[in-house]
Amino acid sequence: MPNDLPKPNPDLPSSGLAARKLCFVAAEGAEAQTALRALTDRYGQQPAEQADIVVALGGDGFMLETLHRFRDRGIPIYGMNRGSIGFLMNEYAEEDLAARIARAQEVTLHPLRMSAATADGQVHEALAINEVSLLRQTRQAAKIRVDVDGVTRVAELMCDGVLLATPAGSTAYNLSAHGPIIPIGANLLALTPISAFRPRRWRGALLPQGATVTFTVLEADKRPVSAVADHTEVRRVVHVTVREDRSVGVRLLFDPEHNLEERILKEQFEP
All structural domains of the chain with their residue ranges: 2-109+249-267, 112-244
Residue 264 pLDDT > 90: no
Residue 18 has a pLDDT of: 45
Tell me what pLDDT residue 160 has. Answer: 97
Q: Are 2-109+249-267 and 112-244 the same fold in CATH?
A: no
- Indicate the pTM of the whole model: 0.84
C-alpha dihedral over 255, 259, 260, 263, to 10 degrees?
-120
pLDDT grade, residue 145 (50/70/90)?
very high
Bigger pLDDT: 107 vs 241: 241
pLDDT at position 6: 42
Q: Can you tell me the mean pLDDT for 1-9? A: 43
The binding site for NAD(+) comprises 60-61, 130-131, 160, 168, 171-176
- How confident is the model at residue 269, as a pLDDT? 78
Higher pLDDT among residues 240 and 265, named by residue: 240
Architecture of domain 112-244: Sandwich (2.60)
Q: Which residues are annotated as a binding site?
A: 60-61, 130-131, 160, 168, 171-176
Question: What is the pLDDT, as a whole number, of residue 2?
Answer: 38
Mean pLDDT of 210-231: 97
Q: Look at residue 7 in the predicted model and tell me its pLDDT.
A: 46
pLDDT in tens, 175-198: 999 999 998 878 999 999 999 999
Please state, rounded to an integer, the average pLDDT across all residues of the chain.
Answer: 90
pLDDT of residue 185: 78
User: Choosing from 11, 60, 149, 230, which is the catalytic residue?
Assistant: 60
pLDDT at 271: 64
Per-residue model confidence (pLDDT) at position 262: 78
pLDDT, residue 1, reads 37
60 is catalytic: yes
Q: Can you identify the CATH homologous superfamily of domain 2-109+249-267?
A: Probable inorganic polyphosphate/atp-NAD kinase; domain 1 (3.40.50.10330)
Mean pLDDT calculated for residue range 58-87: 91
In the predicted structure, residue 267 carries a pLDDT above the cut 90? no
Statement: residue 3 has pLDDT above 60: no
